[in-house]
Structure 1
Amino acid sequence: MKLNHINLYSQDTEADRVMFEQYFGLRTLVVRGSTMAVLQDNDGLVLIVNHFDNKLEGFDYPRQFDILHIGFIQKSREDVDALHQRLSTDGWEVQAPRNAHGAWTFYFQAKGGYFIEVTTLTPVRPEEAYQENL
């Protein structure tokens, strides 16, 4: 099975579309005014950012859905630092990179309201590895 798309509610679809292109290398497939942008990465994953207020009715989002985030893996600590520097230079409010769970990482909030994590690969400790009960 392969994950093929992610759909995020965004308060600013255009700003988020530009950010995903500029910093994460996604390309835009479709833009529908200020309500939706559909982007894709080099592996075929589709990312949709939408601002469909009418879709919020009847859907029970967590009270603090700003804690939800998506993550982008970088190859090295230097790559994390370089992206952090680019974002900072361009005026984004980004946390300072730090060690967390064995990875080098930072978070920032997209214009759409959700959070993005930029990190190196997080190692899984043997005691944390999933073991199917047989």
Structure 2
Amino acid sequence: MTGDEVAIERPAAVSVGDLENGAARLVSFSGEIDLGTAPELGDVVSQETADALAVVLDLTGVTFLDSAGVRLLDTLVGAAESRGCVMKLVAPEHGVARFTLTLCAFRSDLLESTVARAVASLN
């Protein structure tokens, strides 16, 4: 995987790289996804994945996820699905992101516990 990392003003970052010979993109988040960071993170992800056939959003490094972050993830999934792109979210079983997504009744069919499982589920 190759990719660039974009630091956002608050303690958040996103890196984007290719998976499976460029047919899929891996987007790895770290830090906080909240009202202050979600808009800019969303812009970066939307721009970097616009032509992808499949996207894996890795939330393993997320240390805080609020309702604005959940709304961002829902928006990204909706935009991907509307253009025929398959999207999976990686949220480890005992991580912050999984807790928040479960609490918000986020679509469990999109959640995987590791990047490897998410990539395998794309096929």
Same fold (TM over 0.5): no
Instruction: Say which structure is richer in strand.
Output: 2
- Taking structure 1 as the reference length, the TM-score comes to 0.26
Larger radius of gyration: 1
Instruction: Say which structure is richer in helix.
Output: 2
